[in-house]
Amino acid sequence: MVDTPSSPNRWLAVLAGVVAILFGLYALAMPGMTLASLLFVFAIFAIVEGVILLFGGIAAGSETGNLRWILIAAAVVTLILGILAIWNPVGFVLTVTFLVGLWAFVLGLFQVFAGIAGRSAPYWWLTLISGIIGVIVGLYIMTNPVAGAVVLVWALAIYAIIFGIERIVMAFAPSPDAAYATI
């Protein structure tokens, strides 16, 4: 936490902000490379995590009951996802992108219905508009998963830039209450 303008930890928040901004700018400029890198990191993480879960499930022994089988099942699913991401990266990205589009579409439909049903509530129209946008974005991503994957990387990039700016601004906040988020 940054308590005062002279706090020695301030540089950590600024560093985090600069790294986030640089990542965001790189991701905007090179969405394909960013996606490939993220996919590779995810695949390695999933395989390592799967192996750890598998050893945890095996080491749990029979006295732990269902926990052992839950850990082993989680290990198998995680390993399969990691292996699929390495074995067929394009198919994996397109499938995940399609699922994100499907999620946005279904969530958007629920928001449209909620907006229509809640017409007596204040600002019901915001829910309706949000739902319509969700349906449109979901349909777009499902019908154009390659472009949808790029859009998802851009969304991550924009978020990283905003996050980085927030880190830097909060690092120089004069109030300890305003600077709590620079941890």
Tell me the C-alpha distance between 75 and 65, whole Å: 16
Residue 123 backbone class (left: φ over 0; alpha: ψ -120 to 50; beta: rest): left
pLDDT of residue 8: 61
- pLDDT score, position 52: 92
Per domain, the residue ranges of the chain are: 10-182
On whether the CB atoms of residues 153 and 35 are closer than 8 A, the answer is yes
2 three-state secondary structure? coil
Q: What is the pLDDT of residues 69-122, one digit of tens each?
A: 898 999 999 999 999 999 999 999 999 999 999 999 999 999 999 999 989 888
Asked if pLDDT for residue 173 goes beyond 80, the answer is no
49-62 pLDDT per residue, tens: 999 999 988 888 77
pLDDT at 158 over 80: yes
pLDDT tens digits for range 63-74 = 767 888 898 999
Please give the C-alpha separations between residue 182 and each of 2, 18, 121, in angstroms, as whole numbers.
Answer: 6, 13, 37
pLDDT at 172 (0 to 100): 84
pLDDT at 179: 47
24-50 pLDDT, tens per residue?
Answer: 999 999 999 999 999 999 999 999 999
User: What pLDDT, on the 0 to 100 scale, is given for residue 61?
Assistant: 75
The pLDDT assigned to 59 comes to 85
Residues composing the chain: 183
Residue 181 pLDDT exceeds 80: no
Question: What is this structure's pTM?
Answer: 0.69
Residues 6+ apart with CB under 8 A from 65: none
Annotate 41-99 with DSSP letters as a single string: HHHHHHHHHHHHHHHHHHHH-GGGTHHHHHHHHHHHHHHHHHHHHHH-HHHHHHHHHHH
